[in-house]
Amino acid sequence: MATEGPATRRVQVAEYPRLLKLKEMFNSKFGSIPKFYVRAPGRVNIIGEHIDYCGYSVLPMAVEQDMLIAVEPVKTHTLQLANTNPLYPNTLVLVT
């Protein structure tokens, strides 16, 4: 079992247009600058997920799509999720 945290890399936000747009949208929505960003690369399983539960192998592959997340830690028990695409509603989650 690994005891190390996830890999991190410092980047200049201004060098990445998607991060810069996310930073600006975060600031306009929440009135502050994110403390850090997270990127989750996309992946798919060529063989369906249900097969994995039966003990057979699956063939995961990376895809170009990914998810970028801007984060600011808060001391409340409410998690606010906002999407940059207006087609998807914002969400409040009570964390206990």
Q: Are 78 and 95 contacting, i.e. CB atoms less than 8 angstroms apart?
A: yes
Residue 56 or residue 90, greater confidence: 90
Q: What is the per-residue pLDDT across 7-39, written as a single tens digit (0 to 9) for each? A: 788 888 888 899 999 999 999 999 999 999 998
Q: What is the pLDDT of residue 1?
A: 54
pTM: 0.71
Q: What is the pLDDT of residue 48?
A: 59
Percent of the chain whose pLDDT exceeds 70: 84
Residue-by-residue DSSP string for the chain: ---S--------GGG-HHHHHHHHHHHHHHSS--SEEEEEEEEEESS-HHHHHTT----EEEEEEEEEEEE---SSSEEEE--SSTTS--EEEE--
For tokens 């206990």, the residue is 96
